[in-house]
Chains A and B, each alone.
Chain A
Amino acid sequence: MIPVGWFIGLSILLFVLGVIAFFIKRDLITMFMAIEVMLNAANLAFIALAKAAGSLAGQVIVFFVITVAAAEAAVGLAIILLVFRQKKSIKAEDMRLMKG
């Protein structure tokens, strides 16, 4: 069968791709999607390690991560909508209120 290490490798690759996407993309919504990719990479590592350890605790943690991600998506997208209403833009570089 499949070595569990491969899943960890895939998880590392996905996390790095998520980081790259977060830095390269310039609109808030796609940057937010990159965060979801990173969360999912962590979930994959949790489930792979749960299998390796023969314990269900990793799967329970992933369950909580998914529910917290749902809450985070709701609030984050509401904030993005609010920003869009005020600035008429969702480009990250237009958010410069705190720039000196």
Chain B
Amino acid sequence: MGVFLFFLLATLCVGGVLGLILSRNQAHSALFLVLALACLGGLFGLLDAAFIAAVQIIIYAGAIMVLFIFVIMMVNLEQGIAPDKKKWTIGLSAGLAIFLLIELALAVRGTLGALGRTGGESIGSPTELGRLLFTDYLYPFEITSVLIIAALVGAIVLVKKKEKE
């Protein structure tokens, strides 16, 4: 059951990212990305991270993607941008990406088997996570709230129209 769920979610997730790459329309790309992020939430759930899975769905697939879609609505391209005419850039990026894939695979090659399997003792109860956030990681947590305020104020100041004098 778990293996089946993993392959289903992994396929949907990779398919969503491929859809993002192949689709011309930005709004379609954004919706494909929502699919991929929601499936990643499911994968987090398989790894005992129930709270992070909920946060992923609510904040990433919900809030952040709504922000993206709002901006796509405001920018409003009539039709998508055609892919690059210059073939060598696509070839170069594909070559570099395959190089990166091989490099990363070589880096983790020996260690993957030693990681063990899912299941067994559950580690990620929201209670424990919350206790950790408000004890060991209290300062980072508070600093994050300052960061969010700064980002919000910064975004508002950036896009505010200048008043005429």
Contact = CB atoms under 8 A, between A and B. Distances in A.
Contacts of B49: 47, 50-51, 59, 62
A79 interface: yes
A70 B64 contact: yes
A51 to B, nearest CB: 5
B90 to A, nearest CB: 6
Interface residues of B, number: 83
B158 A75 contact: yes
Interface residues of A, number: 69
A40 B128 contact: no
Contacts of A32: 68
A82 B71 CA distance: 11
A69 B147 CA distance: 11
Contacts of B21: 17, 20-21, 24-25
B108 A8 contact: yes
Given A2-B2, A9-B112, A48-B115, A30 B26 contact: yes
B108 A12 contact: yes
Nearest to A18: B17
A2 B3 contact: yes
Given A19-B97, A47-B47, A78 B158 contact: yes
Contact of B118 (A1, A27, A62, A72): A1
B133 A60 contact: yes
Contact of B75 (A10, A19, A24, A80): A80
A49 B108 CA distance: 12
Contacts of B44: 43-44, 47
Interface string B56-83: 1001100110011001101101001101
A18 to B, nearest CB: 7
Contacts of A81: 71, 74-75, 158-159
Nearest to B55: A66
Contact of B60 (A25, A26, A54, A66): A66
Interface of A: 1-10, 12-21, 23-27, 29-30, 32-34, 36-37, 40, 43-44, 47-52, 54-57, 59-60, 62-64, 66-75, 77-82, 84, 90-91
